[in-house]
Amino acid sequence: MEFLTQPWAWYVSGPLIALSMFLMFYFGKRLGISSNLENMCSVVGAGRLVDYFKFDWKKNNWNLAFMFGLILGGFLATNYLTPDTNIQLNPNTVEHLQELNFKEVGNTYLPSEIFSMESVLSIKGFSILLLAGLLVGFGARYAGGCTSGHAIVGLSMLELPSLIAVIGFFIGGLTMTWFILPVIFK
Amino acid sequence: MKLLKFFFVGTFFGIILSKSQAISWYRIYEMFRFESFHMYGIIGSAIVVGIILVQIIKQTKLKNINGEEVVFTPKKRGRYRNILGGIIFGLGWALAGACPGPMYVLVGQGSIAILIVLFGAMLGAFLYHLVKKYLPH
């Protein structure tokens, strides 16, 4: 059991992610999680406002089933497989975050500076969370996929559009981490 | 029963993302600061094994569960959409510390804050389709 409850190494996790992709291909589907954002829009009736969402989401119920699986996976992993939520970060990373006034860096999966209830109930905190989501959702659908569809599946298929999208992910991510986060949190 | 297999792969995937700490905001921050190999190892090894598996499927003309040949649906191409969408996505990825998969996994971890992120992501997908006719693709 112990190998299950300790953090999984990259060389275990990466191949298992590839195996998940393979299983989806075997089951006749191409793995892609951000499509579910559109499915959920369609489920809650966005088709009344934008014609695109009038598609029959029931045809994509396999992807919604996958999504509910993700939620259960998170629940099981947290409650039964993760006795220690400590993240072993590079000391330099910890130091940088402390300079940005982050406390208890790496003690839990999520920093309380962004994800605590206190943050949720403050205007700044709420705006950051909402904006982060907006960028992810808008960007993923504009690019035609997210980390799963482009970085994992697209690159495994050696697709050029996916390589371009992943380069874009990094341009955006590096800009946020190096130039914008210091402004937001300093 | 047809849907159950997708539910199980999702559960498996959710456990991997959780146990590898790929759903941690800190890990994404550390990755974009180039201060750890961990995330590059996860994504890199997934792609290397993925390339091999896709080639095996193609070379052996592997049949899927329905007895048909596996189809590799390509993504939409466009000169601007992949790079511009990618940059916007990247900005959000580094701020939220989570892409869509980890967002759902974090819902299962019981985070309330991630529901706001997820709502924002739905809204973002909605807004994209609202304004897409004005955007370069």
State the complex-level ipTM: 0.96
- Average pLDDT of the segment spanning A41-60: 94
Q: Write down the pLDDT at residue A186.
A: 82
Q: Write down the pLDDT at residue B71.
A: 86
Q: Does A88 fall in a domain?
A: no
* Min distance A56 CA to chain B CA atoms (Å): 16
Q: Write down the pLDDT at residue A125.
A: 96
Entry pTM = 0.96
- Average pLDDT of the segment spanning B4-17: 97
Q: Which residues of A touch B89 (CB under 8 A)?
A: 135-136, 138-140, 142-143, 146, 165, 168-169, 172
B20 pLDDT band, cuts 50/70/90, is very high
Helix or strand (DSSP H, E) at B90: helix B81-96
The tokens for A34 are: 């951000």
Q: Write down the pLDDT at residue B133.
A: 92
Please tell me the distance from the alpha carbon of residue A149 to that of residue B99, in angstroms, as a whole number.
11
Interface test with chain B among A21, A36, A109, by most B beta carbons within 10 Å: A109
A61 pLDDT band, cuts 50/70/90, is very high
- Average pLDDT of the segment spanning B19-33: 97
The tokens for B35 are: 């201060």
In one-letter notation, the amino acid at residue A84 is D
Q: Which residues of B touch A167 (CB under 8 A)?
A: 83, 86
Give one DSSP letter per residue of A109-178, joined into a string: SS-HHHHSHHHHTSHHHHHHHHHHHHHHHHHHHHHT--IIIIIIIIHHTT-HHHHHHHHHHHHHHHHIII
The 10s digit of each residue's pLDDT in A140-154 is 999 999 999 999 999
Do the beta carbons of residue A81 and residue A73 sit within 8 Å? no
Helix or strand (DSSP H, E) at B137: none
The 10s digit of each residue's pLDDT in A77-107 is 999 998 888 999 999 999 999 999 999 999 9
Q: Write down the pLDDT at residue A2.
A: 75
- Average pLDDT of the segment spanning B26-49: 97
The 10s digit of each residue's pLDDT in A2-30 is 778 899 999 999 999 999 999 999 999 99
Residues 6 or more apart whose CB falls under 8 angstroms from that of B125 comprise A34, A37, A38, A41, A137, A138, A140, A141
Please tell me the distance from the alpha carbon of residue A134 to that of residue B117, in angstroms, as a whole number.
8
User: In chain B, pLDDT over 70 holds for what percent of residues?
Assistant: 99
Do the beta carbons of residue B126 and residue A50 sit within 8 Å? yes
Q: Write down the pLDDT at residue A25.
A: 95
Q: Does A26 fall in a domain?
A: no
Q: Does A137 fall in a domain?
A: yes
Number of domains in chain A: 1
A73 pLDDT band, cuts 50/70/90, is very high
Q: Does A18 fall in a domain?
A: no
The tokens for B64 are: 């899927």
Q: Which residues of B touch A111 (CB under 8 A)?
A: 25-26
Would you call A79 helix, strand, or coil by DSSP? helix
The 10s digit of each residue's pLDDT in B51-107 is 999 999 999 999 999 999 998 888 888 889 999 999 999 999 999 999 999 999 999
Which domain, by its residues, includes A184?
116-186
